[in-house]
Amino acid sequence: MQVAEELAGKISRREARVGILGLGYVGLPLAVEFAVAGLPVTGLDLDTQKVDAVNAGQSYIKDVDQDQLSRLVRSGTLRASTDLDELGRCDAIIICVPTPLSKTKDPDLTMVVEAAKAIAARLRPGQLVVLESTTYPGTTDELIHPLMEEGGLKVGESFFLAFSPERVDPGNARYNTRNTPKIIGGLTPACTRIAEQLYAHAVDTVIPVSSPRSAEMVKLLENTFRSVNIGLVNEVALMCARLGVDVWEVIDAAASKPFGFMPFYPGPGLGGHCIPIDPFYLSWKLKTLNYRARFIELAGEINSEMPEYVCARVADALNEREKSVKGSRVLVLGVTYKRDIEDVRESPALDIIRILEKRGARVSYHDPFVPELALDGLSLKSQDLLPSVKEADLVLIVTDHSTFAYPQIVESARVVLDTRNATRGLRSEKILKI
């Protein structure tokens, strides 16, 4: 195990160069943490704008402090490149590329495979490869492992392979890359040990598990748990609407129980890269094993129908005021998938805008975090808040940004449909909720 000991020694002495393949919302914060720990870091991305920004010390990720990034770049600890030959000069390579779903909700691992092939073409003895991109259980050992061994190197002996799921929560002020526990699952005990030793420099708590499959399953369980519970509470919201009961009051009252209940909240639909997507990775994998993941599929069905339900509520609210959806001015407040961030990936606001536009509504939006929005070939711009509120026939709160002055919005609006309970505590006949 001389190769393993040599690599372990490099990591211990902080001499091991870490390569981060993919400089997005997962890769860049991780690169910064390794650099802060004193390990030399090379960030790799095919997007020249990201690479140029990093090398200029400019952060494009809200959770990455620009001053800190700039200091690390100036010191030479962190640099970025588009040259994939840099992979051969790295001692540890971490894959942080996107893993979207196809239109048929099947896993699209194109970017993971391309990344793995790029590494395999340059793989040398004494390297550690870690996949962080969310995927289905079995990806690391069934897909990545064979690619890495095509050149004749042996996993656990001449190179090392592990999976460690990313657990990034954009905009979370309390938990970040450093203080969120890290799960590690290596193909062999040596792989786990070396990966654990590496991540211990950048993360406060490292938790080893028995295999990459277990580590892959951990991430899918976490987000499937959220998806299923959100699906449940969204269905409860639909039930309460029919029963004439305030779902928000019901949840708050239930949450007073000090045991046996964890509050989840309804909304206009799921957004972000993880929760709307990850459960379908698990569902897809189980279909190949002749097993139907019924909870996952039902929760996905309910959650994906919420934008349609919200638009039906918009139509009802306008109809009560003797207006049709067609020709009515609807102002969407917030288009990001969660509050106080800039990320619009999979945001339910996008589907809501599409549906309302298709029904003939004159839709505009305001979001202080998204000055421009590209949607179906159109370029929309965030409108001034209060003038737009006053002009709108209906104001639709889709994302509950903390910067919104809700009392002022309600006072200026004709009617407000609140999908997030953002107007909690305000009393007005103008306020409607899902």
**Phi and psi (nearest 5°) for 411?**
-65, -35
* Range 422-434 average pLDDT: 95
The domain ranges of the chain are 2-210, 231-433
How far is it, in rounded angstroms, from Cα 330 to Cα 352?
11
Token pair 């590209």 is found at 374
The reply to whether 231-433 shares the fold of 2-210 is yes
More confident residue, 379 or 359: 359
pLDDT over 80 (residue 42): yes
Q: What is the pLDDT of residue 105?
A: 73
Confidence band, pLDDT 50/70/90 cuts, at residue 326: very high
Of 383, 398, 395, which Cα lies nearest the Cα of 336? 398
Contact present, 90 and 17 (Cβ < 8 Å):
yes
**SS3 label, residue 26:** coil
Q: What is the pLDDT of residue 280?
A: 85
* Range 268-282 average pLDDT: 81
Q: pTM above 0.85?
A: yes
Question: Which pLDDT tens digit goes with each residue over 222-263?
Answer: 999 999 999 999 999 999 999 999 999 999 999 999 999 999
More confident residue, 393 or 106: 393
What's the topology of domain 231-433? Rossmann fold (3.40.50)
Please say if 274 is a catalytic residue: yes
The one catalytic residue in 90, 96, 274, 311 is: 274
Question: Which pLDDT tens digit goes with each residue over 65-94?
Answer: 999 999 999 999 999 999 999 999 999 999
Q: What is the pLDDT of residue 173?
A: 86
DSSP per-residue letters across 112-147 = HHHHHHHHHTT--TTEEEEE-S---TTHIIIIIHHH
Confidence band, pLDDT 50/70/90 cuts, at residue 273: low
Kindly tell me the burial class for residue 322, based on how many C-beta atoms sit within 10 Å of its own C-beta (0-12, 13-18, 19 or more).
exposed
Query: Which architecture characterizes domain 2-210 according to CATH?
Result: 3-Layer(aba) Sandwich (3.40)
Confidence band, pLDDT 50/70/90 cuts, at residue 277: confident
Of 401, 399, 398, 389, which Cα lies nearest the Cα of 430? 389
